[in-house]
């Protein structure tokens, strides 16, 4: 079924990615010199050769990219998203809203009234 409704899970996933990157950046910035060296040694043992500054820059770039993608997604919508806080599962509420839209769309009403 085609719908014009977007489950908030998409937004939640993007926000979780941003939160994870921000938490990782916080962790990086709170490491002392020995912890930094241990982390870089761990990455090197996994075949990922990097520097502390590169790791910080990569994480900042990830934050900028992910937040930009989320912003672009919201900007691409014709109207501001709504969040329903009432009863019913996401699927039930979306089905009800789709049904109501189909009942009250002008082009749908004309077709159901015999084209007048």
9-20 pLDDT tens trace: 888 999 999 999
Position 84 scores a pLDDT of 86
Q: Is 83 exposed, middle or buried (0-12, 13-18, 19+ CB in 10 A)?
A: exposed
Distance separating alpha carbons of residues 43 and 49, to the nearest angstrom:
6
Which of 28-42, 51-65, 68-82 comes out lowest in average pLDDT? 68-82
Is the domain of 15 the same as that of 63?
yes
Query: Is the same domain home to 34 and 64?
Result: yes
Mean pLDDT of the region 61-73: 94
72 and 90 share one domain: no
Residues 92 and 70 in one domain: no
Residues 94 and 74 in one domain: no
For the chain, the domain total comes to: 2
For residue 3, is it within any domain? no
Q: Based on the fold, state whether residues 40 and 93 are members of the same structural domain.
A: no
Structural domain for 111, as ranges? 84-116
Cα–chain center distance at 46: 29
The verdict on 76 and 88 lying in the same domain is no
Q: Tell me: do 65 and 24 sit in the same domain.
A: yes
| Residues 64 and 115 grouped into a single domain | no
Q: Mean pLDDT of all residues in the chain?
A: 87
What pTM does this model have? 0.70
In this structure, how many other beta carbons lie within 10 angstroms of the beta carbon of residue 56?
Answer: 15
């Amino acid at each position: 079924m085609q719908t014009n409704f977007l489950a908030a899970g998409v937004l939640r996933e993007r926000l979780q990615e941003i939160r994870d990157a921000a938490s990782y950046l916080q962790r990086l910035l709170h490491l002392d010199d020995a912890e930094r060296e241990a982390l870089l040694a761990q990455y090197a043992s996994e075949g990922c050769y990097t520097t502390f500054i590169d790791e910080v820059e990569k994480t900042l770039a990830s934050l900028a990219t992910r937040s930009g993608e989320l912003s672009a997604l919201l900007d691409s919508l014709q109207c501001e998203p709504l969040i329903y806080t009432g009863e019913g599962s996401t699927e039930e509420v979306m089905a009800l809203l789709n049904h109501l839209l189909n009942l009250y769309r002008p082009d749908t009403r004309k077709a159901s009234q015999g084209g007048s």
